[in-house]
């Protein structure tokens, strides 16, 4: 049946039934014929009513002028326009968007007879795309704010941790403080105290990032405040810090270690007084035997919970040339792609191997060995280590 239908009849049927806006224009950009969908779009019941009209009769001058210039270019160059997104501004001011394709209409003569075009309404798609782009822009702006906040927090932490590093005769001090991201939840602090002794605090806030970093600021303040009345008892010191921080953590907890060095004896030895709150990670390198020993402290409860208490104070005798290390678990729990951890054995091996080097250089070598072991460009956790050597 379709084969018997005339081409003209098929064309007329197409123009009556298609949902697309199809049109043919002459060389003066006047409509010769249009689809019914196009006529209805402009408020005409009969599509033939548009014959002889131009875009200037239907759209704003700005849109009509642009369409006219496009059609002039097509007739002059013979190059079609394919899927051009156009903004249609109507006489009443409302805006629609269409995807337009136009091509020169070539009949029997060598000259182009006019333009054939098809426009499809993409207003809904365009609005959805705009909304996506706006959402992406808002997300980009939020990410930029977060990045700026991270940079600011990093600058603050870099100044604050460890802050003032005391110079004590016959005690060399070194440390690693390597957050997993630009900021971290580990804290090293050397708060001033009325006894004038070398007092230190190492803390590890549960979590990472800006939230954990904010709590290090709180801990920095609290340890400094409580050190003003330090009575040479690290257990009491940690308990007072814990009392102040309890209820101020939105979630999680803090492990901590505090200690101070006693006076230097004639043979160069000193007593190190230590207490901990869930942080029993300590090593001593003995120069005389060129060996490492683990210091097993009584276990204290982590900080941040009501009723938590620090471990009893433990006294450790250090001889001249001995080194003391306390660290967070980011070092020993660093793992390689095979799932193997660097471990305490790796830590001890490195510290003994490089014990002949200056203290800070030993720590720098350790950090490189951990990075080489994990074979990853980024850390898996904050890495912090505090070290002392009696000289």
Query: What pLDDT shows up at residue 206?
Result: 80
Whether residues 154 and 281 fall in one domain:
no
Whether residues 253 and 293 fall in one domain:
yes
Q: Which residues of the chain have pLDDT under 70?
A: 1-6, 108-109, 182, 251
CATH assignment of the domain containing 40: 3.30.450.20
Q: Is residue 352 part of a domain?
A: yes
Whether residues 238 and 368 fall in one domain:
yes
Domain end point (choices 133, 158, 183): 158
Query: What pLDDT shows up at residue 61?
Result: 86
Q: Is residue 2 part of a domain?
A: no
Q: Is residue 87 part of a domain?
A: yes
Q: What is the pLDDT of residues 71-91, one digit of tens each?
A: 999 998 989 989 988 888 777
* Alpha carbon distance, N-terminus to C-terminus of the chain: 107
Whether residues 107 and 139 fall in one domain:
no
Split into its structural domains, the chain has a count of 3
Whether residues 258 and 384 fall in one domain:
yes
Helix H or strand E encompassing 186: strand 186-189
Whether residues 93 and 179 fall in one domain:
no
Query: What pLDDT shows up at residue 29?
Result: 92
Query: What pLDDT shows up at residue 70?
Result: 92
Max intra-chain CA distance, the chain: 119
331: containing domain: 161-390
Q: Is residue 1 part of a domain?
A: no
Helices marked H in 270-391 — which ranges? 343-353, 359-374
Whether residues 320 and 236 fall in one domain:
yes
Q: Is 179 left (phi over 0), alpha (psi -120 to 50) or beta?
A: beta
Domain end point (choices 69, 101, 121): 121
Q: Is residue 304 part of a domain?
A: yes
From residue 122, give the alpha-carbon distance in Å to each of 20, 26, 194, 258.
11, 26, 76, 67
Whether residues 181 and 138 fall in one domain:
no
Q: In what order do the strands lie in the sheet with 171-178?
A: 171-178, 383-390, 323-327, 282-286, 291-294
Note the pTM of the prediction, 2 decimals.
0.66
Which among 316, 313, 314 is positioned nearest to 235, based on CA atoms? Answer: 313
CATH assignment of the domain containing 327: 3.60.40.10
Whether residues 80 and 228 fall in one domain:
no
Query: What pLDDT shows up at residue 11?
Result: 80
Whether residues 168 and 114 fall in one domain:
no
Whether residues 278 and 316 fall in one domain:
yes
Q: Is residue 151 part of a domain?
A: yes
Whether residues 110 and 129 fall in one domain:
no
Query: What pLDDT shows up at residue 356?
Result: 94
């Amino acid at each position: 049946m379709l084969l018997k239908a005339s081409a003209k009849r098929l064309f007329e049927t197409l123009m009556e039934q298609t949902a697309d806006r199809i049109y043919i224009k002459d060389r003066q950009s006047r409509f010769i014929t249009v689809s019914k969908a196009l006529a209805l779009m402009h408020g005409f019941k009969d599509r033939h009513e548009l014959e002889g009209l131009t875009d200037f009769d239907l759209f704003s001058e700005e849109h009509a002028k642009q369409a006219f210039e496009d059609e002039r270019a097509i007739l002059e160059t013979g190059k079609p326009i394919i899927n051009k997104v156009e903004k249609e501004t109507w006489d009443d001011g409302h805006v629609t968007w269409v995807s337009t394709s136009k091509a020169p209409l070539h009949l029997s003569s060598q000259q182009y007879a006019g333009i054939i075009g098809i426009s499809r309404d993409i207003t809904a798609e365009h609005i959805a795309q705009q909304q996506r782009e706006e959402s992406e822009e808002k997300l980009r702006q939020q990410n930029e704010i977060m990045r700026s906040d991270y940079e600011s927090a990093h600058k603050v932490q870099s100044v604050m941790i460890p802050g003032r590093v005391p110079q004590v005769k016959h005690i060399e001090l070194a440390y690693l403080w390597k957050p997993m991201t630009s900021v971290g939840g580990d804290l090293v602090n050397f708060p001033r105290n009325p006894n004038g002794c070398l007092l230190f605090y190492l803390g590890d806030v549960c979590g990472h990032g800006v939230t954990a970093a904010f709590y290090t600021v709180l801990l920095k303040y609290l340890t400094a405040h409580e050190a003003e009345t330090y009575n040479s008892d690290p257990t009491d010191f940690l308990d007072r810090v814990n009392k102040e921080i309890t209820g101020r953590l939105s979630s999680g907890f803090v492990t901590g270690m505090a200690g101070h060095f006693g006076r230097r004896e004639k043979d160069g030895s000193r007593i190190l007084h230590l207490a901990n709150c869930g942080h029993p990670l300590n090593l001593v390198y003995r120069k005389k035997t060129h060996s490492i020993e683990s210091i097993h402290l009584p276990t204290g409860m982590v900080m941040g919970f009501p009723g938590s208490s620090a471990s009893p104070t433990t006294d450790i005798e250090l001889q001249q040339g001995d080194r003391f290390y306390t660290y967070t678990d980011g070092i020993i729990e660093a793992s390689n792609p095979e799932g193997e951890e660097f471990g305490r054995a790796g830590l001890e091996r490195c510290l003994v191997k490089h014990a002949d080097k200056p203290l800070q250089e030993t720590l720098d070598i350790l950090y490189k060995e951990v990075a080489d072991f994990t074979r990853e460009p980024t850390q898996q956790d904050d890495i912090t280590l505090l070290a002392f050597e009696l000289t």
